Amino acid sequence: MVDTGERQVGNGRRAPKSPEAFRTISEVADDLDVPQHVLRFWESKFTQVRPLKRGGGRRYYRPEDVDLLRGIRHLLYVDGFTIKGVQKLLKENGAKSVVEAGRRLHDGDSAEPVAATVMAPAASGSGTGDTPRLSDQGRRRLNQVVDDLQRLRELLRRR
């Protein structure tokens, strides 16, 4: 039996789950503000998401699964990645980089977008395991592109 972490308290209410408790698909969907069918779809696209399946196909998500899903959601909905882009990121940088994206969002950190931190190549031979950072030259180029896009948007608005 899977320990879902909920315990009965007085008046028929349930005490909050511990952070280590497994979550049902409805709980995860509510937490991430996505429909349940989206979570099932993401399972088919991201093999790293592997909830425990019990009798009748009921899913129980581990805390690691929820962290990964939160990162996937952030990359797709906030940073504008495509499914293929997130798949590539998972393949090249591993699940930790995606989980970190979700943690920054969950913790309320308004740090720079993930594209500016995890997509840049790591310094060769650093071996520190730190998240790679965009070089100064890359940051300047990215800022130029953003400025160009903003000018184009303004031109389109005037038409």
pLDDT at position 72, please?
93
Cα dihedral 20/23/29/35 (nearest 10): 150
pLDDT at position 125, please?
43
Segment 35-53 shows an average pLDDT of 93
pLDDT at position 10, please?
52
pLDDT at position 150, please?
86
Q: What is the edge-to-edge ordering of all strands in the sheet holding 23-24?
A: 23-24, 59-61, 52-53
Q: Is the pLDDT of residue 71 over 90?
A: yes
When the pLDDT of each residue in the chain is averaged and rounded to a whole number, the result is 77
pLDDT one-digit tens code per residue, 104-144: 655 554 444 545 444 444 444 444 444 455 666 777 777 78
pLDDT at position 46, please?
94
Q: Helix, strand, or coil here: 108?
A: coil
pLDDT one-digit tens code per residue, 140-155: 777 788 888 888 888 8
Backbone angles phi, psi at 50, to 5 degrees: -135, 80
